[in-house]
Amino acid sequence: MNIIGIDVGGSKTVIGLVDAVSGRVDRSVRLETPARERAGSEFLGRVAAEARALASGADLPLGVGICEAVDTAGEIVSSHRVPWTSAQLREAFSFAPVLAVDSDVRAAAVAEASFGVGRGLGDWLYANAGTGIANVVMRGAVPYLGCRGRAIGLGMSHLVEENPGGKHVSVEEVSGGAGMLSRAHAAGLSMTSVAALIGEAEAGEETARCIVANAGALLGRALGFLANVLDPEAVVLGGGLPSASPTYLAACRRALDESLWRPAPLCPELRLAGLGPESGLVGAALLAAPQKKEKGA
């Protein structure tokens, strides 16, 4: 069954035609997500036009995974990166007979549970490391929402203090791509993209390597904290950063292992997302799959 999936991330938005039975992406279009002040109705119109073109006149369900908090009623309740409302989405995608919306991290985790390395797991954690940082607790293929639908906020958590002044810094400000790039600029590096920063780090440039390694390490410690509290079977790590940077992934894995207090045989395994960068797109499509709609009815 073909479904249109839209994965709205902090740096890129992907619109694709997805086979919800196999998880195969048949066609996709990638757009750069503009800065927040330019990511409003005009950009939403561009995304809707691409989705309509992919539908080719067919009445296809449509699912949107967005890098914002979505409450238990399916309403977008934050505008941290992309200032869209649920009402705007309903208007923009009125051509779709079914529209489903959820946070992108939950969509990606469901995709991994269905077609990736989350298959067969019981209690597990999924974390997404890209422009921002988010997480979700999973029981099988079902995400834990929390009482308000906001149980995705690892990246917003203040787990570190920096001197001078004891400034509180969030995990996302250190471990997310946008935060890494800001730190690179503060350190005097001139690259204009996270990809360039990672390239310098992997080539051995010391300042870049430290920024990337510290980013991965803080995320690993944060995941270790969650793992000590929740005792998951595994931790699945998705998003562009761990797949693009061996330095980031190795630092994250090492810090996670060092943060766990249980004896080694009982430690949760860290797995890299099996669907790679397509987790969010496939998961967005699955939001609108008929069986998902029935479960929520």
Mean per-residue pLDDT over the chain, rounded = 93
Structure tokens of 275? 């669907």
d(CA 234, CA 252): 14
Lowest mean pLDDT among 50-64, 158-172, 264-278: 158-172
d(CA 166, CA 268): 33
d(CA 160, CA 202): 25
What are the residues whose beta carbons fall under 8 Å from the beta carbon of 255, sequence distance 6 or more?
216, 217, 218, 219, 220, 221, 224
Q: Buried (b) or exposed (e) across 155-184, using 16+ Cβ within 10 A?
A: bbbebbeeeeeeeeebbbbbbbbbbbbebb
* Under 8 Å between Cβ of 127 and 134: yes
d(CA 126, CA 105): 8
Q: Report the pLDDT averaged over residues 168-178.
A: 94
Is the pLDDT score of 296 beyond 50?
no
Q: Are strands 2-8 and 62-66 parallel, antiparallel or unpaired?
A: parallel
Q: Report the pLDDT averaged over residues 261-278.
A: 84
Q: Report the pLDDT averaged over residues 151-169.
A: 79
What's the pLDDT score for residue 215? 97
CATH class of 2-107+278-296: alpha beta
One-letter identity of residue 264: A
What's the pLDDT score for residue 295? 38
3.40.50.1980, 3.40.1190.10, 3.30.420.40, 3.30.930.10: CATH of 121-273: 3.30.420.40
Is the pLDDT score of 229 beyond 80?
yes
Residue 292 confidence class, pLDDT cut points 50, 70, 90: very low
What's the pLDDT score for residue 70? 97
Please report, for the chain, the start and end positions of each structural domain, with discontinuous segments joined by +: 2-107+278-296, 121-273
What's the pLDDT score for residue 166? 66
HSE-up of residue 113 (Cα within 13 Å, Cβ side): 23
Question: Which CA distances in Å does 272 have to 4, 13, 125?
Answer: 25, 21, 12
Is the pLDDT score of 161 beyond 70?
no
- Packing angle, helices 206-230 and 246-259, rounded to 10: 40
Is the pLDDT score of 285 beyond 50?
yes
* Under 8 Å between Cβ of 189 and 200: yes
Q: Report the pLDDT averaged over residues 185-191.
A: 95
Is the pLDDT score of 297 beyond 60?
no
Q: Report the pLDDT averaged over residues 111-134.
A: 97
d(CA 48, CA 64): 11
Is the pLDDT score of 294 beyond 50?
no
Q: Which of 158, 176, 167 is nearest to 242 (CA)?
A: 176
What's the pLDDT score for residue 246? 97
Residue 5 confidence class, pLDDT cut points 50, 70, 90: very high
What's the pLDDT score for residue 160? 67
Is the pLDDT score of 293 beyond 50?
no
d(CA 126, CA 152): 10
| Cα 250–chain centre separation | 19
Tens of pLDDT, residue by residue over 78-116, are: 999 999 999 999 999 999 999 999 999 999 999 999 999
Largest CA distance in the chain: 59
Same fold, 2-107+278-296 and 121-273: yes
Q: Report the pLDDT averaged over residues 162-174.
A: 79
Q: Tell me the percentage of the chain whose pLDDT exceeds 90.
A: 89
What's the pLDDT score for residue 87? 96
Chain position carrying tokens 């207090």 = 261
User: Where do the H-state alpha helices sit in the chain?
Assistant: 41-55, 86-92, 104-115, 171-175, 177-186, 194-202, 206-230, 240-244, 246-259, 279-287, 290-296
3-state secondary structure of 297: coil
